[in-house]
């Protein structure tokens, strides 16, 4: 099984838009950004230390589990 691809914050934000998940710009403190899926009413905080920085695999997998995204989301 190949390693999953690490995404930058900007790439994650763009991919999540395709699934109806949006960033709440008025919420979150410091380096945490909040993503919300209106269909399921689910929230998840995502750490952002710069939009070009790569996010950890554990965080990406947690986002996938929380929003029930398909296995090929990181490809």
Contact 57, 7 (CB under 8 A): no
Instruction: Report whether 24 contacts 45 (CB < 8 A).
Output: no
- Domains of the chain by residue range: 9-67
pLDDT of residue 62: 93
Average pLDDT rounded to a whole number, residues 28-49: 89
pLDDT tier at 74, thresholds 50, 70, 90: confident
Domain boundaries 9-67, corresponding CATH code: 3.30.920
Whole-number pLDDT of residue 2: 62
Would the pLDDT of 72 be above 80? Answer: yes
**What number is the average pLDDT over the span 10-24?**
94
Record the pTM: 0.86
Average pLDDT of the segment spanning 5-33: 89
């Amino acid at each position: 099984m190949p390693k999953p691809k690490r995404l930058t914050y900007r790439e994650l934000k763009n991919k999540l838009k395709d699934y109806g998940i949006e960033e709440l710009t008025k919420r979150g403190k410091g380096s945490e950004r909040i993503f919300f899926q209106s269909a399921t009413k689910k929230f998840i905080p995502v750490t952002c230390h710069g939009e070009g920085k790569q996010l950890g695999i554990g965080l990406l997998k947690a986002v996938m589990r929380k929003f029930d995204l398909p296995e090929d989301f990181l490809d």
